[in-house]
Amino acid sequence: MLPKIIRSLSFFLALLLILSLAGCGFGPLNKILSSQPHFEGHWIAYSGYTLDNVKNQMDTPVFTLTLTPKNDTKTIYTVDLTAYNYQFTTPNNQPAIQSIQMVGDIKEAHLDFSTALVRLVSVKDLPGSVDESNPNLIKLNLENSPASNILYDPKTDTLQCMDQTFKRIEQSNSLQATLDQYKQDVKAATDKYLEEVGKAANPKTKFIVTYTFKDDLLKGQE
């Protein structure tokens, strides 16, 4: 009986070794493979749009980043980087006043907030290589550029570049989904700001805004 148990145990250990070498979730080989940086793919970054953005007239574009390996060892890459935001299509590139009227003691101001999606930045095929001393770092061949380094965080599976945190693009955070969130944030922050301005005005003013965000730029892109 004991010899059979020993033989069965030996067979089981041998099977584990085979699975380990095959990379099936056991043993050192799988750990080595899983520890390698996975730069390649499509990434997106958006840090949010808040009331502070409106007050300080600061924008927060949506960034996309694509990393493509150019050799079998995946130490040489090309990088595509694009930044998107919405620009006013109304005269003077600012909200247009459609009408102003008094309703009792309250002034009502109707505003036209018409915008269209634009590419602020679009660069392609930037050459870069993995740093010899840090396999999680890609150095781009750009001098004095904020995008000169791309750092991969294996714990969160994110990239750090230009003070932005890039996440892998999936269905839940596709470019269109992220832009839709951006629109909601712009509306909420702008409405909050105008509400504060209206309460402080004399006479008190109620701003009624018609928002339009055109995404024609994305047609056929995603």
Q: Could you tell me the pLDDT band of residue 91, with boundaries at 50, 70 and 90?
A: confident
**Count of Cβ atoms closer than 10 Å to residue 85 Cβ:** 17
φ/ψ of 129, rounded to 5, equals -145, 150
Q: Residue 131: CB partners within 8 Å, gap ≥ 6? A: 137, 138, 139
Q: Could you tell me if 18 and 41 lie in one domain?
A: no
Query: Do residues 142 and 131 share a domain?
Result: yes
Assess whether pLDDT exceeds 70 at residue 147: no
Predicted structure pTM score: 0.79
For 12-21, 85-94, 130-139, 212-221, which range has the lowest pLDDT when averaged over its residues?
12-21
Average pLDDT of the residues in 116-124: 94
* Same-domain check for residues 28 and 59: no
Looking at the fold, whether 18 and 86 belong to one and the same domain comes out as no
Residues 17 and 84 in one domain: no
25 and 43 both lie in a single domain: no
> Of the given ranges (10-24, 137-151, 180-194), which has the lowest mean pLDDT?
10-24
Cis, peptide link before residue 91, omega less than 30° from 0: no
- 162 with 83, same domain: the answer is yes
Average pLDDT of the chain is 83
What are phi and psi for residue 134, nearest 5 degrees?
Answer: -140, 100
Q: Are residues 104 and 134 in the same domain?
A: yes
Instruction: Summarize the confidence of residues 184-210 as an average pLDDT.
Output: 95
Q: Total domain count for the chain?
A: 2
Query: What pLDDT, on the 0 to 100 scale, is given for residue 35?
Result: 52
User: Which of the 8 DSSP states describes residue 100?
Assistant: E
Identify the CA nearest to 64 among candidates 156, 184, 185, 182.
Answer: 182
Both 28 and 62 in one domain: the answer is no
Question: Per the structure block, which two tokens stand in for 146?
Answer: 């904020």
**Mean pLDDT value of segment 106-113:** 95
Instruction: Identify whether residues 11 and 77 lie together within a single domain.
Output: no
Lowest mean pLDDT: which of 4-8, 43-47, 144-148?
A: 4-8
Q: Domain containing 213: what range? A: 36-218
